[in-house]
């Protein structure tokens, strides 16, 4: 048998448990492929057939993977975990209806996002009547500098925290408009702090422009609310007038309601 998860205990790359990393590698392969056979996973990961089969068997036993014929797919147990986790975040029951209302009022796509480590994660996404495709989906992790919400969150970190994230995550491009120069990014973050909102001009998805403002109950930035739409509907006048006004009204109401219903937040975190 080749050296893999079943012959080594610890991961040389992270110091973690190799068997767990192997399972996660297989889960990620199934996600990327949209499912597949054991041999497909072997080809994708380079793991031995025996290791892949054993890990898939274990994952299937716990409903994290389901088997249909000879194919394996990720199971909806993951959705259960994600739904539970989102519901545990302070203010989640208040944020969702506000994003729905924002989408209805603008006709565009409304998002609420938070930061986890060096990535921005969408917790709520609501489509208006004219909503268009964006790269964001619930739970998707994107680079902070690529999105309006991410730039908002990055701008309100301390300089040392922001520099550390950029150093560790880099500035990869999603489109030809993504900011990939560090000096340019930090100048943009300074402008975000000064004007109170961030704009993503086709930096994440070609043809899509977005604007975001921070959510800061107790004066602590815990998330970002944004509206995204096609370039031809997202003019500077609309962004700096209608949309910033709407977003500011939404976050003001949310900040008051979160503070009054949950008390001091300190940081956006799971409920006790």
Q: Tell me: the pLDDT tens digits for 44-76?
A: 999 999 999 999 999 999 999 999 999 999 999
CATH 3.30.450.40 intervals, the chain: 89-262
CATH 1.10.10.10 intervals, the chain: 18-75
For 61, 173, 265, the CA distances from 83, given in Å and listed in that order, are 21, 30, 21
CATH fold of 89-262, please? Beta-Lactamase (3.30.450)
Phi-psi label, residue 3: left if phi above 0, alpha if psi -120 to 50, beta otherwise: beta
CB 83 within 8 A of CB 92: no
Rg of the Cα atoms in the chain: 21
Residue 268: the pLDDT is 47
Q: Tell me: the pLDDT tens digits for 192-244?
A: 999 999 999 999 999 999 999 999 998 889 999 999 999 999 999 999 999 99
Residue 269: the pLDDT is 53
Residue 35: the pLDDT is 97
CATH match for 18-75 among 2.102.10.10, 1.10.486.10, 1.10.3720.10, 1.10.10.10: 1.10.10.10
Q: Tell me: the pLDDT tens digits for 1-34?
A: 333 333 333 334 556 789 999 999 999 999 999 9
Residue 131: the pLDDT is 86
Q: pTM of the predicted model, to two decimals?
A: 0.84
Residue 267 in this model has a pLDDT that exceeds 80: no
pLDDT band (50, 70, 90) for residue 265: low
The Cα 154–Cα 120 span in angstroms is: 9
Q: Tell me: the pLDDT tens digits for 101-125?
A: 999 999 999 999 999 999 999 999 9
Q: Tell me: the pLDDT tens digits for 123-168?
A: 999 999 998 888 888 999 999 999 999 999 999 999 999 999 999 9
Residue 272: the pLDDT is 43
The upper half-sphere exposure of residue 14, i.e. CA atoms within 13 Å in the direction of its Cβ, equals 7
Residue 263: the pLDDT is 60
Q: Report the SS3 class of residue 117.
A: coil
């Amino acid at each position: 048998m080749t050296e893999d998860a079943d012959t080594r205990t610890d991961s040389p790359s992270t110091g973690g448990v190799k068997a767990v990393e192997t399972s996660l590698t297989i889960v990620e392969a199934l996600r990327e492929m949209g499912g597949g056979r054991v041999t497909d996973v072997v080809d994708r990961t380079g793991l031995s057939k025996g290791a892949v089969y054993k890990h898939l068997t274990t994952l299937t036993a716990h409903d994290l993977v389901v088997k249909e014929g000879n194919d394996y797919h990720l199971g909806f147990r993951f959705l259960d975990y994600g739904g539970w986790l989102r519901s545990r975040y302070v203010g989640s029951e208040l944020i969702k209806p506000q994003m729905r209302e924002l989408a209805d009022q603008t006709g565009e796509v409304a998002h609420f996002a938070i930061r986890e480590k060096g990535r921005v994660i969408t917790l709520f996404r609501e489509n208006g009547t004219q909503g268009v495709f964006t790269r964001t989906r619930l739970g998707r992790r994107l680079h902070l500098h690529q999105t309006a919400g991410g730039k908002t969150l990055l701008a309100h970190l301390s300089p040392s925290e922001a520099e550390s994230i950029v150093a560790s995550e880099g500035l990869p491009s999603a489109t030809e408009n993504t900011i990939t120069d560090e000096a340019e990014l930090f100048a943009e973050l300074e402008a975000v702090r000064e004007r109170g909102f961030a704009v993503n001009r086709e930096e994440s998805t070609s043809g899509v422009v977005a604007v975001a403002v921070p959510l800061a109950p107790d004066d602590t930035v815990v998330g970002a609310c944004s509206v995204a739409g096609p370039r031809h509907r997202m003019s500077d006048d609309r962004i700096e007038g209608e949309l910033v006004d709407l977003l500011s009204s939404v976050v003001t109401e949310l900040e008051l309601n979160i503070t009054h219903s949950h008390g001091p937040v300190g940081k956006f975190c799971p409920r006790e």
